[in-house]
Amino acid sequence: MLPNRTLEQLIRAAPPEHQDIVIELRSLIAQVAPTVTEKTQGCGFTYYFAERGGTVSAGLCQIFLLPDHVRLAFIHGAFLPDPKHLLEGKTYPKRYVQLTRYDHVPWDDLRDLIEASSRFDPYTQQFR
């Protein structure tokens, strides 16, 4: 995971109401996948399993800091179980969840999506 100073610099530009969402997402990702690699990319962070491949082939998820929301994206989201229908998007196979207020974030459901993504193998389209 990135050093705290780097994290602070990246989220400082986000609206204050979104900063806590990013910090909590980052913590959740670290809990679910402690060996994940975190990389800054554009307006956010990319998480992937370096031992399995690169940011796409071994992608876990991405956090984007956008002006009006935080986006939690899954590069292989179309393959993830989504019983609550949280995932949006039409770009196949990427899907995302838009988060605007900390107190409205479905944390347990996001944990389930992150866990499923951590077990997904895009080569076989099966879960480990």
Per the model's pLDDT, the better-predicted residue between 13 and 82 turns out to be 82
The yes-or-no verdict on residue 1 having pLDDT over 70 is no
- CATH number of the structural domain spanning residue 8: 3.90.1150.200
Number of folded domains in the chain? 1
Q: Residue 82's domain spans which residues? A: 4-127
35 CA to centre of own chain: 15
Q: How confident is the model at residue 12 (pLDDT cuts 50, 70, 90)?
A: confident
Mean pLDDT of 11-33: 91
> By CB neighbour count within 10 A (0-12 exposed, 13-18 middle, 19+ buried), where does 52 fall?
middle
pLDDT of residue 40: 85
> Is-above-0.85 flag for pTM?
yes
The yes-or-no verdict on residue 99 having pLDDT over 90 is yes
114 CA to centre of own chain: 7
Q: For 73-91, how does the pLDDT look when each residue is reduced to its tens digit (9 = 90+)?
A: 999 999 999 999 999 999 9
